[in-house]
Amino acid sequence: MAEDFTPPISQMQSTTLTDDSIQFENFSRRVLIKNIVGRPDGGVGLAGKKVTVGGWVKTGREQGKGTFAFLEVNDGSCPANLQVLVDASVSPLGDLVPTGTCVLVEGELKKPPTGTKQNVELRVCKVLEVGPVDPVKYPLPKTKLTLEFLRDVVHLRPRTNTISAVARIRNALAYATHTFFQKNGFLYVQTPIITTSDCEGAGEMFQVTTLCTDAEKVERELKQNPPPTEAEIEAAKLLVKDKGGMVADLKSAKASKEELDASLSELKNAKENLSRLEERSKLKCGIPQKDGKIDYTQDFFARQAFLTVSGQLQVETFACALSSVYTFGPTFRAEHSHTSRHLAEFWMVEPEIAFANLEDDMNCAEAYVKFLCQWLLDNCLDDMEFMVKNFDKTAIDRLKLVSSSPFERISYTEAVKLLQNVTEKKFENNVEWGIDLASEHERYLTEVIFKKPVIVYNYPKKIKAFYMKVNDDEKTVAAMDVLVPKVGELIGGSQREERYDVIVKRIQEMELPLEPYEWYLDLRRYGTVKHSGFGLGFERMVLFATGIDNIRDVIPFPRYPGRADL
Ligand code: 4AD
Ligand code: MG
């Protein structure tokens, strides 16, 4: 992880600043390092200007026998650092040089002596703020750190060059996503995270329940305050009876209003006490049961609920009213996959288009992926250069290739034939018509046979979800997967089954309960429309763009079996 990586000026993101004007931040009193060293002139045109700069010290070294120090400061706005020079007369240097120290400094930009690699450096006149670091304890040593090591310090890893570059690329892809769909007339719909329907019908959902927390609360409470004994309840009942008797006596003796009121109030207290004791006596440890099963009517939503595996079913309700829509949010899958392509929590971009068939869907997917690639070339070249230098030499070439050449489109049946004819490689999983293509097959198609993105369509209906449109052959469905080099499956989508009878039959065939899908079936009962959509795994797109090997390193806070830090 080249901690002192400084890209040449030509690779920097260009800003509109070519003269000597300085762009100050709107919401923090400083100048972004990007707006100094990221200028087309590398910041030379700003020599002589006074600026305030903040950031974290990447490397710091005292020089001239401790008379001054050089700090390489990075504020996360771009991959490049700003060289900062501090004189010992300005501030104690020992506090500034440890890696990880935060500094806010004011100074003058100067052109350094010729022969140095910097175009401009900051001579500090005032150290405004310091966030110190004890170098002995700092969890991120200055040595080359592996991405595996960094997964144990997810809270500090954004300080590294790699994770910050990935964060900027990820941010750019999110911005590009909204730009693409907004430009094409799609409406952004926020679909729920908590759901009661299983979109993929695969049963790999995380359950959302308060039954366990409720049970623990009762357990704690009963420990602190044990339930009433039978005798205590009997005594309380007797008291109610006594007090009731007293009220009756006073009434028949025509007692004064004050006396009667006082007695009635005692009766009320005795009744309240009894009902409290009776309620407490009903408290039981454990999960509520009914007829030998967990009683979900007592759960928070009065029924079983889950974290969504996909926003598709819900976004379809808007597509069937507003035509072109998309959702972009977190999705959750409780599959025990330990691969470098699977997360338990990942983000998905899911457009849904009314009056669109499978071909329209493929066209949209291809245009969207191309747009993302071109966007990174146009807006993130400095970070992409970093990836090329440190992770994947072909990352930029891949973006160029994908953004400019048409994707291959082949049917599942053709894909199987091609794979069956492969002789130079032995696959771990045998290929025959009807199998779900394994990652090794998908990657072989896109990386070896076609050497570019491939869209495989018309999959066997047996291996695909219930909502996909059944083709006329009755054996396949109008599904499509976009496969890309480095990653394999990037997108999964389909034309949706819009025929009521057919979709009901499909749900039954797959032995799924009809009841949770009744609302979904209404979309076919009333004003049904041909429609199509797909889901792009956002982290898989970041993997594809950056060339990073493991999906756990391209999401800010990875969740996978056995691991959910922070
Ligand atoms: O193919 P999938 O399962 O499709 C759906 O969920 C559809 N409901 C989408 C739709 O039509 N609206 O998932 C879509 C994509 C996959 O192609 C893959 O890129 C990604 O989501 N994906 C995962 N990414 C990371 N970790 C996982 N466990 C993933 N599972 C799927
Ligand atoms: Mg899929």
- Domains of the chain and any CATH numbers: 9-138 (2.40.50.140), 162-208+304-553 (3.30.930.10), 212-298 (no CATH)
**What is the distance between the alpha carbons of residues 499 and 517, in angstroms, rounded to a whole number?**
14
pLDDT per residue over 225-243, tens digit each? 888 989 999 999 999 999 9
Task: Indicate which atom in ligand 1 lies nearest the CA of residue 541.
Answer: 19
* Alpha carbon nearest to ligand 1 atom 24, residue: 537
The sign of the torsion formed by the CA atoms of 239, 245, 247, 253 equals negative
Among the listed residues 138, 145, 171, the one whose alpha carbon sits nearest the alpha carbon of residue 160: 145
pLDDT per residue over 67-108, tens digit each? 999 999 999 999 999 999 999 999 999 999 999 999 999 999
Task: Indicate which atom in ligand 1 lies nearest the CA of residue 535.
Answer: 9
pLDDT per residue over 152-208, tens digit each? 999 999 999 999 999 999 999 999 999 999 999 999 999 999 999 887 777 789 999
pLDDT per residue over 56-76, tens digit each? 999 999 999 999 999 999 999
Q: What pLDDT was estimated at residue 7? A: 39
Query: What does pLDDT average to over the chain?
Result: 93
**What is the distance between the alpha carbons of residues 272 and 236, in angstroms, rounded to a whole number?**
10
Q: What pLDDT was estimated at residue 340? A: 95
Identify the residue with better confidence: 9 or 118.
118
Encoding tokens for residue 230? 């039978």
**The pLDDT of residue 12 is above 60:** no
Encoding tokens for residue 527? 């004003």
Q: How far is CA 283 from CA 219, 220, 235, 271, 289, in A?
A: 9, 11, 19, 19, 13
How many A from CA of 30 to the centre of ligand 2?
Answer: 46
pLDDT per residue over 383-405, tens digit each? 999 999 999 999 999 999 999 99
H or E element that contains 211: helix 211-224
* Alpha carbon nearest to ligand 1 atom 15, residue: 537
What is residue 518's three-state secondary structure?
helix
Beta bridge partners of 409: 455
Q: What pLDDT was estimated at residue 225? A: 87
User: How many residues appear in the chain?
Assistant: 566
* Alpha carbon nearest to ligand 1 atom 31, residue: 537
* Alpha carbon nearest to ligand 1 atom 9, residue: 535
* Alpha carbon nearest to ligand 1 atom 7, residue: 535
Q: What pLDDT was estimated at residue 33? A: 96
Q: What pLDDT was estimated at residue 280? A: 85
490 Cβ closer than 6 Å to some ligand 1 atom: yes
What is residue 363's three-state secondary structure?
helix
Q: What pLDDT was estimated at residue 2? A: 39
Identify the residue with better confidence: 17 or 175.
175
Beta bridge partners of 455: 409, 482
pLDDT per residue over 327-357, tens digit each? 999 999 999 989 999 999 999 999 999 999 9
Which of 308, 314, 317, 348 has most ligand 1 atoms within 8 Å of its beta carbon, as the pocket-test mutant?
348
pLDDT per residue over 262-310, tens digit each? 999 999 999 999 999 988 888 778 899 999 999 999 999 999 999 999 9
pLDDT per residue over 513-552, tens digit each? 999 899 999 999 999 999 999 999 999 999 999 999 999 9
How many A from CA of 189 to the centre of ligand 1?
Answer: 18
pLDDT per residue over 127-146, tens digit each? 999 999 999 999 998 778 99
Q: Which ligand has the shortest distance to the CA of 535?
A: 1
**The pLDDT of residue 19 is above 80:** no
442 Cβ closer than 6 Å to some ligand 1 atom: no
Q: What pLDDT was estimated at residue 560? A: 96
197 Cβ closer than 6 Å to some ligand 1 atom: no
Q: What pLDDT was estimated at residue 20? A: 66
**The pLDDT of residue 48 is above 80:** yes
Task: Indicate which atom in ligand 1 lies nearest the CA of residue 489.
Answer: 17
487: left (phi over 0), alpha (psi -120 to 50) or beta: alpha
Pairing relation of β-strands 82-87 and 121-131?
parallel
Cβ contact 316:520 at 8 Å: yes
Average pLDDT (441-445) is 97
How many A from CA of 532 to the centre of ligand 2?
Answer: 15
Q: What pLDDT was estimated at residue 43? A: 94
54 Cβ closer than 6 Å to some ligand 1 atom: no
* DSSP annotation string for 123-192: EEEEEEEEE---TTT-SS-SS---HHHHGGGTTTGGGSHHHHHHHHHHHHHHHHHHHHHHHTTPEE----
Which of 315, 477, 489 has most ligand 1 atoms within 8 Å of its beta carbon, as the pocket-test mutant?
489
**The pLDDT of residue 211 is above 80:** yes
Encoding tokens for residue 252? 């028949």
- The residues, any chain, with a CB within 8 Å of residue 357's CB and separated by 6 or more, are 478, 495, 530, 532
Q: What pLDDT was estimated at residue 227? A: 87
